[in-house]
Amino acid sequence: MRLLVIEDDPALRDDLTRVLSQHGDVVESSGDGHEALFLGQTEPWDAIVLDLNLPGIDGLSILKELRQNEITTPILILSARDTWKDVVTGLRGGADDYMAKPFAPEELLARIEALVRRSSGRAQAEITIGELSIDPARKSVSFKGRDVPLTAFEFRALEYLSRNAGMVINQETLIQHIYAQDMDLNSNVIEVLVARIRKKIAPDIIKTIRGHGYSVPTNE
Amino acid sequence: MNELFNTMPRRVVVMAVVSSIVILGLTALLMIYFYRAHEIREMDSLLSQDTQIAVQRFRVDENGAITHHRTGTETLYDRPGSDWVWQLFTPNGQVMTLLDQSDSLGDLSEHNTALPFPVGRFENFKTREGLAMRGQLSEVSLFGTDEVYMLGIAAPSLHVAEEVEEAATFIGSTFLGLGCLLSLLVFTVVRTGLKPLARLQGELEQMQRGGGSISERGWPTDLQPIVGELRELDQRIASLIDRHRRQASDLAHSLKTPLAIMSRIVPDLPEQERAKIVDQTDRITTAVRRNLSRLRTGAKTANSCPVHDTVEDIVFAMEVLFRERDLDIRNKIDQNIVFRGDADDLKEIAGILLDNACKWAETTIHIDCDCVGPDLILAIGDDGPGMNNRRAATGSNADNTTRDGEFVSGIGLLIVEDIAELYEGSVQLGQSHLGGAEIRVTLPAGPRKS
């Protein structure tokens, strides 16, 4: 998953980034309201973790701005403000979930996972396409009942394509969801990655759509 | 006595009424006094005229004999027992010899007692029988002689007293009526005149109860400086309280982020230290949450809010937060019931209780509200395992926990109790008709929406 963490406290921001990265997600963070709004509007995210007290623009304004611009990325508010008035205001503002600080990292991970799952229209935690089964929580993949060992990058690529099964994902988007740092778009790293996944699972597990990108076919 | 003067309008009314009554009373007394003086003058004038008439009727013949000529018309002086009298004397050295007297005193040969007339001027005197009279003894010249005679004339002073009493009764009744009318007028004038003060008092009382501030407009010019001062004072106090609350709130909130980081570090610590740190962070978290809750609910207000709509906000939040549970949350609260308190406090109560109910319910949550006398009873029940089973299931007071329960075990219901106590309400735990737990919170009800 590609996550954006918006938190003004550097220590907590770094800690959140570390926890989520260790979980296998691609995480970018921002401590400034203006920068966060720009990132939220211009880049594709699977979910956004948003603090309310931010320098520049406050979290609630960012939330409303994103929703007004029809950005439907799941947003979880993580705030020290924990009154039910704050919760209602946040949820009415367009947030999908609200967590008060201090929080348990396991609960945060579970909630982000649930948000992303719901946004991709799945009821179950596991992603199942035909005989392919992906468990995002355990970071495990099985095909025809057999566990398939994948590296972190291979897992991220397959998970993202599977979440968006049936859709064509271009190389740039795929890179953004796999790698935290900027990559040379002309490099053949994605091609290599896809080839390795096909080799480990099945040749037709990922289709190449020439000139457009990659797609995992749906099981229909 | 103090109660009589404990409000400004009452003080002004009492002072004005007492002053008016005193002035009216003095005026009435003066009027009676002048009327009496006038009556006495009238009587004296009448007696003077009667003296002249009586003198003109005396005749002295060439033998020096005095005769009293009567006109044939009977006067009060001619009626026996009328007590209107005259007596004619001749001065004989120091001795006064009674020569003639009015028929009212009887025949001179039988009744010849000289009355003790005051000499030279009209004055009151008493006869030997004790009858109060007014009259005088004056020198007179009789027609046909150069000798000096003395004529005493008098009439009962009871006549004046009766006239004065009658007048006093009339004046007294008239002034009593005037006094009542004036008192009523004073009361009305004072009440109308001091209306701005009563309004100021009302707004101050409302402000003390926490319901808004003193309005800026519509005050008389002379009250405007005081109102301005009061408004400024109120704003200064409010801003001071707000600043202190904000500082305390910021302090509590600023502790939350370090606590979140500490919680993250805990798993990396050696097992012995881990328990101690977890215990301490839990204590700090509980203290922060409880004190934040008290800060939020510290200012009792005179606001009111519709219960249904306020709880509906929380139901919306629950439907978002617990959407995966697909719970049936039934808000059966009557739209007209009003909570006499702050909407945020009601949201906090409903939020904590519904959050618990959503965690424990199987499929259904029932929310209802009844008005009992001046109170409303908000009841939130579910079809979960019930209060005892919740305790058994968790081995602690987890029935009180909020959504992030592991940090704030037991604090949720305490916050609900804190808020309810602020409004002199209470919290009762019981069993829902759905089979699970039900929590009933008693709070003050406001007037129903029409």
Interface predicted TM-score of the whole assembly (ipTM), two decimals: 0.74
Which pLDDT tens digit goes with each residue over A114-170?
898 888 777 677 888 888 999 887 888 999 889 999 888 899 899 889 988 888 998
Task: Provide mean pLDDT across the span B77-90.
Answer: 89
Task: Provide mean pLDDT across the span B242-262.
Answer: 78
Task: Provide mean pLDDT across the span B383-387.
Answer: 82
Output the pLDDT for position B397. Answer: 46
Same-domain pairing of A136 and A185? yes
SS3 labels along chain A:
CEEEEECCCHHHHHHHHHHHHHCCCEEEEECCHHHHHHHHHHCCCCEEEECCCCCCCCHHHHHHHHHHCCCCCCEEEEECCCCHHHHHHHHHCCCCEEEECCCCHHHHHHHHHHHHHHHCCCCCCCEEECCEEEECCCCEEEECCEEECCCHHHHHHHHHHHHCCCCCECHHHHHHHHCCCCCCCCCCHHHHHHHHHHHHCCCCCCEEECCCEEECCCCC
Distance between start and end Cα atoms, chain B: 44
In this complex, is the C-beta atom of B261 within 8 Å of any C-beta atom belonging to chain A?
A: yes
Which pLDDT tens digit goes with each residue over B93-143?
777 888 888 888 888 888 888 899 999 899 999 988 889 999 999 988 887
Same-domain pairing of A24 and A133? no
CATH code for the domain of A179: 1.10.10.10
Same-domain pairing of A36 and A84? yes
Q: Nearest C-alpha of chain A: how many angstroms from B317?
A: 6
For chain B, domain boundaries? 59-158, 216-298, 303-444
Angle among Cα B373, B377, B382 to the nearest 5 degrees reads 155
Least confident of A198-202, B240-244, B374-378: B240-244
Res B350 pLDDT > 90: yes
Residue-number span of the structural domain to which A143 is assigned: 127-215
Q: Nearest C-alpha of chain A: how many angstroms from B247?
A: 14
In this complex, is the C-beta atom of B102 within 8 Å of any C-beta atom belonging to chain A?
A: no
Residue where one domain finishes, among candidates A65, A93, A119: A119
Chain A residues within an 8 Å CB radius of B289: 82
Which pLDDT tens digit goes with each residue over B195-225?
888 888 888 887 776 566 788 888 888 888 8
In this complex, is the C-beta atom of B281 within 8 Å of any C-beta atom belonging to chain A?
A: yes
Task: Looking at the structure, give the CATH architecture of the domain made up of residues B59-158.
Answer: 2-Layer Sandwich (3.30)
Which pLDDT tens digit goes with each residue over B388-418?
666 655 544 444 443 334 333 356 788 888 8
Residue A220 inside a domain? The answer is no
Least confident of A207-211, B199-203, B301-305: B301-305
Same-domain pairing of A52 and A104? yes
Fold of B303-444: Heat Shock Protein 90 (3.30.565)
Residue where one domain finishes, among candidates A119, A145, A178: A119
Q: Is B81 left (phi over 0), alpha (psi -120 to 50) or beta?
A: left
Q: Nearest C-alpha of chain B: how many angstroms from A96?
A: 7
The CB-side HSE value for B94 (13 A sphere, CA atoms) comes to 0
Same-domain pairing of A115 and A134? no
Asked if B257 lies within 8 A of A85 by C-beta distance, the reply is no
Same-domain pairing of A9 and A105? yes
Residue where one domain finishes, among candidates A70, A98, A119: A119
Output the pLDDT for position B298. Answer: 55
Output the pLDDT for position A51. Answer: 93
Task: Provide mean pLDDT across the span B326-346.
Answer: 90
In this complex, is the C-beta atom of B260 within 8 Å of any C-beta atom belonging to chain A?
A: yes
Q: Nearest C-alpha of chain A: how many angstroms from B435?
A: 27
Residue A194 inside a domain? The answer is yes
Residue A135 inside a domain? The answer is yes
Same-domain pairing of A115 and A132? no
| Helix residue spans in B108-218 (DSSP H) | 158-193, 195-208
Chain A residues within an 8 Å CB radius of B314: 84, 88
Same-domain pairing of A22 and A112? yes
Res B247 pLDDT > 60: yes
Output the pLDDT for position A97. Answer: 94
Question: Across the A/B interface, how many CB contacts are shorter than 8 Å?
Answer: 86
Same-domain pairing of A7 and A86? yes
Burial class (CB in 10 A: 0-12, 13-18, 19+), B131: middle
Q: What rounded mean pLDDT belongs to chain B?
A: 83
Residue A190 inside a domain? The answer is yes
Asked if B260 lies within 8 A of A97 by C-beta distance, the reply is no
In this complex, is the C-beta atom of B285 within 8 Å of any C-beta atom belonging to chain A?
A: yes
Asked if B314 lies within 8 A of A103 by C-beta distance, the reply is no
Q: Nearest C-alpha of chain B: how many angstroms from A193?
A: 33
Same-domain pairing of A104 and A143? no
Specify the 3-state DSSP secondary structure of B353. Answer: helix
Provide the number of structural domains found in chain A.
2
What is the C-alpha to C-alpha distance for residues B107 and B162, in angstroms, rounded to an integer?
30
Asked if A81 lies within 8 A of B253 by C-beta distance, the reply is yes
Q: Around Cβ A216, how many Cβ atoms within 10 Å?
A: 26
Q: Are A29 and A16 in contact (CB under 8 A)?
A: yes
| A10: nearest CA partner in chain B | B257
Residue A99 inside a domain? The answer is yes
Q: Around Cβ B251, how many Cβ atoms within 10 Å?
A: 13
